[in-house]
Chain A
Amino acid sequence: MSLTIEPAGTSAAEASLPAPRWRHRHLLDLDGLDWSEIEVLLRTAEDMRGVLARPIARVPALRGRTVTILFYEASTRTRVSFEVAAKNLSADVVNITASASSVSKGESLVDTVRTIESLGANMLVMRHATSGAPYLAAETFSGSVVNGGDGWHAHPSQGLLDLFTMRRHLGDLRGRKVAIVGDILHSRVARSNIWALTAAGAELWLCGPATLLRGFEAWAGSWRGTAGGPDGRKGFVVTSDLRAALRDADVVMTLRIQRERQAGGLLPSLREYAARFGITRERLRGARPDALVMHPGPMNEGVEIAPDVAVGSGSVISEQVRNGVAVRMAILHLLSGTLAGSTAPVEGTARG
Chain B
Amino acid sequence: MSGRQIMTAEEIRRATIRISHEIVEKHAGTEGLALVGIQRRGVPLAGRIAAAIAEHEGVLLPVGALDITFYRDDLSLIAQQPLVKGTDLPFDLNGATIVLVDDVLYTGRTIRAAMDALIDFGRPRAIRLAVLVDRGHRELPIRADHVGKNVPTSREELVRVHLAETDGGDGVEIERPTPALAAAG
Chain A contact patch, size range: 35 or more
Determine the residue in chain A with the shortest Cβ distance to B37. A10
Given A8-B87, A10-B39, A15-B165, decide whether A54 and B120 contact each other with a Cβ distance below 8 A.
yes
List A325-344 residues whose CB lies under 8 Å from chain B.
333-334, 336-344
A281 to chain B, nearest CB (A): 39
Question: A-side interface residues toward B, CB under 8 Å?
Answer: 6-10, 12, 15-16, 19-23, 40, 43-44, 47, 50-51, 54, 56, 58-61, 89, 333-334, 336-349, 351-352
Q: Which of these, B70, B71, B88, B135, contacts A9 with CB under 8 Å?
A: B88
In the assembly, what is the distance between CA of A205 and CA of B103, in Å? Answer: 50
Q: Is the CB of A336 within 8 A of B158?
A: no
Q: Is the CB of A22 within 8 A of B80?
A: yes
B4 to chain A, nearest CB (A): 14
1/0 per residue B96-108: CB within 8 Å of A?
Answer: 0000000110110
List B102-156 residues whose CB lies under 8 Å from chain A.
103-104, 106-107, 109-110, 116-117, 120-121, 135, 153
Determine the residue in chain A with the shortest Cβ distance to B65. A10
Q: Could you write out 29 A-B pairs with CB less than 8 Å apart?
A: A7-B86, A9-B88, A10-B40, A10-B65, A10-B88, A12-B165, A19-B83, A22-B81, A23-B80, A44-B83, A47-B67, A51-B70, A59-B70, A59-B71, A60-B71, A337-B75, A337-B79, A337-B81, A341-B79, A342-B79, A343-B79, A344-B78, A347-B106, A347-B109, A348-B158, A349-B103, A349-B160, A349-B161, A352-B82
Q: Is the CB of A61 within 8 A of B77?
A: no
Report chain A residues within 8 Å CB of B121: 54
Given A9-B88, A20-B83, A47-B84, decide whether A343 and B70 contact each other with a Cβ distance below 8 A.
no
Report chain A residues within 8 Å CB of B78: 337, 340, 342-346
Given A10-B43, A348-B135, decide whether A342 and B85 contact each other with a Cβ distance below 8 A.
no
In the assembly, what is the distance between CA of A15 and CA of B135, in Å? Answer: 25
Determine the residue in chain A with the shortest Cβ distance to B64. A9
Report chain B residues within 8 Å CB of A59: 70-71, 117, 120
Report chain B residues within 8 Å CB of A16: 166, 168
B127 to chain A, nearest CB (A): 18
1/0 per residue B60-74: CB within 8 Å of A?
Answer: 000001010111001
Given A10-B39, A50-B86, A51-B70, decide whether A347 and B80 contact each other with a Cβ distance below 8 A.
no
